[in-house]
Structure 1
Amino acid sequence: MDGFRFDEGSILTRGIDGKPMDYAPVLWWIELSDILADTKIIAEPWDAAGLYQVGNFPGYRWAVWNGQYRDTIRGFVKGDGGIIGAVASRIAGSQDIFYEAGQRPINGINFITCHDGFTLNDLVSYNEKHNLANGEDNRDGLNYNTSWNHGVEGETTDPAINALRARQIKNFYAILLLSQGVPMLLAGDEVRHTQQGNNNAYCQDNPLTWFDWNLLESQSELFHFVKAMIAFRKEYPGVRRERFFTGSTDRSGKEDIEWHGCRLLEPGWNDPNSHVLAFTIWSGEASADADLHVMLNMDTAELDFEIPQPTRGRCWKKVIDTAQSAPGDIQIREQAPTIGDSHIGLPSHSVIVLASDPAAQA
């Protein structure tokens, strides 16, 4: 048994009077148990009575579902403006949520979808829930899902809408697997499983919720992209740090992470209309690890992004481009094209990632 996940875990913090306790005995017994010392313990840090404990769930060892990550990244990819600071905080591991509690990035479980709510396919295909099949006159399930159907509610034959939906799903996966913290993926999303807009399908034991193995073939491009993104995360330690970024600099004056907008070092923290964010994770001059430069354009227009000069003796390789179809959407560094310009155009609703190549000469 690898570990346990506690549904609506915050209920375990309540005393006999229903009020939250600072030192909930059940949770601390689990935290300090020698028997459970080598297991993962994960909590859904809220309950049905309204208690919400993302960032202040008792204990130090517990990992918690980061609902703020889900809501912020959904809004960003959907096209909500004025949230760039929050997006950066979520991508950087939600230090604003976990640091003061003495925790690390590993305490946050980042996710876009889970067993409750829309699947990832439905998140980009429906504006509204469609739960009539549940027998409650569509009253059950959340009414607001931070979703966007891209112009048509549900399935469509429109090639432009279908292409944009496919790109947005790749965007979600790219951002999730480039974020500090622990990524959680919903089984079936990697092949675009749909519940036809039902966001509360717990009561459906039928093809609506069953895994359709035929999707492995029909959605092979997305399936390959997700597998390659997981391999990318394993290869590049810069996206899975044990500690939060500190702003520390190397001998060349580069910080461990630098934030940008379309222009270098000019993120739109206070721009209510900004839909873009870029960042560079520098590995340090003495490190053999690759540097990473990530550009996120969730605007409706193609935009030009400046690119920083690579570390001396290295060059940039374009390893991820969600606007491209396979195999150009994600490539290993040795086969990826070299980017020698000081800027690059990003199509609307796309993600591009550059990785420095220590083996190449700049």
Structure 2
Amino acid sequence: MWIWIGIVLLVAVGIYVFFPGDKLILERNDEALSANYSAFQEINEQYRSDIFEVSLVARVVVSSAASPNPIRIFSSVNDQLILDCDANVDENTKFDTRYYKIDKAGTVTDSLYVAYQGYSEQFIDDFMVYTSEKDAYYNTWPLDCDTTRHQVVELNADLSWEDGRLEAKVKAVKASAKYFFFSTALKEGVWYRQVYFYADQKWYLLWQKTPGYTEVLDEDNARRYRNVVFRSGEVSFEIPKDVKLLHFHQQEKIKYYHVVGGGHGGFSAYNWRGLGFFETSIAGRVFEFMVPKLVVEKEKHNGYKPSLYTVSEPGSSTKLYHPAFYHSPNGFSFYAPEAKELFLIRIK
């Protein structure tokens, strides 16, 4: 797949280098833009409005096939949201994470940088539980911004419990613990099942030796406690139902490329590139915005519904554009024009 993508990109670059850009522009549209759309703006840090405030709340450096959704939002306690952002800058930070806490007014109230040290952090209501194959601890940052470490109480750390006692305890935990989840750990070539649970205002960890790796079922996974409401980098060929494409103003007809991947190479296309004018609703108010360098394609295979792309330069390859918003019931919205950026939009 990567060989085909490389070939297509080399061809595109070669065409761009050896043929002037004007030769890749087949036609220009001299028709003036309608005054109805002259006030529309791009959604960025320069957006100005008497009604809306737009701010960049998160930006990541790297997005990749290994992390196609580098910015994530999930709901938390106290009617707040938490932003979960990959902090990858270089080899030393590729597993680090930065978190932002957003209150119900849309204000960033705190942030937390977590440098990877062999732990995986699990968000469970009031708690961040840090799990590993060696030990574990937790804090109450989601509740009160306190990052004080509290050690998890370990049970059967010496592996002295008999199987019957272990299974009875696991059954009791699943029946009565306020929170519980399973994890697997590999220590010195031996596999273990870890049972984390919260009871009597403490977090506990029960160790259980297993013959080999044991898959954790969804019903026992810590992920079930995290309600993710938005991910950057989500792709779709359909415009979201809460967004309307009002008008597409053609500027120039150009040649560009689609990189297909999957061993299928790519193909060229000829189409109009221009300005797209959209609207959505934020806190019950109409929010208008513009997207430059847009290409709108309509194909028979999807019922001639518009598919949106951006093309940076004539002769370059397309990027799928998905106008993705998350509208909070508290009256503000998030917008991710691409995987690496997240904007916060709220009423002034």
Per the TM superposition, whether the score is higher than 0.5 is no
TM normalised by structure 2 equals 0.23
TM-score, with normalisation over the residues of structure 1? 0.23
Greater helix share, structure number: 1
Instruction: Judging by fraction of residues, say which structure has more strand.
Output: 2
Larger Rg: 2
